[in-house]
């Protein structure tokens, strides 16, 4: 069974589109800033769908007026982790929302091996299924070539 038909990780917004250019990312950030969101940058090399919390790269950025500031942080993150997944998150602090409202991947490793489906036979003829990232067989920091 093919678990990775596009050869790419599809999580968050725009993940079925070609990679956004920096200008397009800046436009998205600008949109979020206009709505009053606080942007933050997160990275990981374990992109399992259930791995909800990625590592934060610096603090969330409140009180920014222009996308250039967020892009500065993103570029710093890309420089530090060129072969990791990096995503932008927009936090809406409005009362009763207080949650992430936008999230999209802005950096991917050159090669994305995807996920395998592993089966486990249990009592009787029952099967337990789980999704396993091929990349996570190697230790952290060495997963996507480096």
Contacting positions for other proteins (CB under 8 A): 5-8, 16-19, 58-59, 61, 63-70, 72-73, 108, 110-112
Cβ at position 46, least distance to other proteins in Å: 19
CA 51 to chain centre: 10
Residue 13: DSSP 8-state: B
Cβ at position 23, least distance to other proteins in Å: 10
Torsion of CA 14, 55, 57, 49, to 10 degrees: 0
Beta bridge partners of 119: 129
CB atoms within 10 A of CB 120: 9
**Helical H segments across the chain, by residue range:** 22-34, 67-80
Cβ at position 90, least distance to other proteins in Å: 15
Cβ at position 138, least distance to other proteins in Å: 20
Closest CB to other proteins among residues 40, 103: 40
Closest CB to other proteins among residues 21, 52: 21
């Amino acid at each position: 069974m093919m678990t990775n038909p596009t050869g790419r990780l599809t999580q968050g917004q725009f993940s079925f589109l070609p990679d956004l250019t920096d200008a397009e990312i800046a436009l998205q950030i600008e949109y979020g800033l206009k709505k009053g969101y606080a942007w933050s940058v997160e990275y990981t090399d374990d992109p399992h769908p259930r791995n909800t919390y990625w590592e934060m790269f610096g603090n969330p950025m409140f009180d920014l007026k222009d996308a250039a500031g967020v892009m500065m942080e993103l570029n710093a993150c890309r420089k530090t982790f060129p072969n990791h997944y990096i995503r932008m998150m927009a936090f809406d602090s409005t009362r009763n929302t207080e949650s992430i409202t936008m999230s999209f991947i802005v950096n991917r490793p050159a090669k994305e091996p995807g996920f395998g489906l592993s089966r486990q036979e249990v009592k009787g003829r029952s099967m337990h299924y789980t999704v396993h990232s091929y990349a996570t067989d190697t230790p952290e920091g060495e997963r996507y070539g480096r």
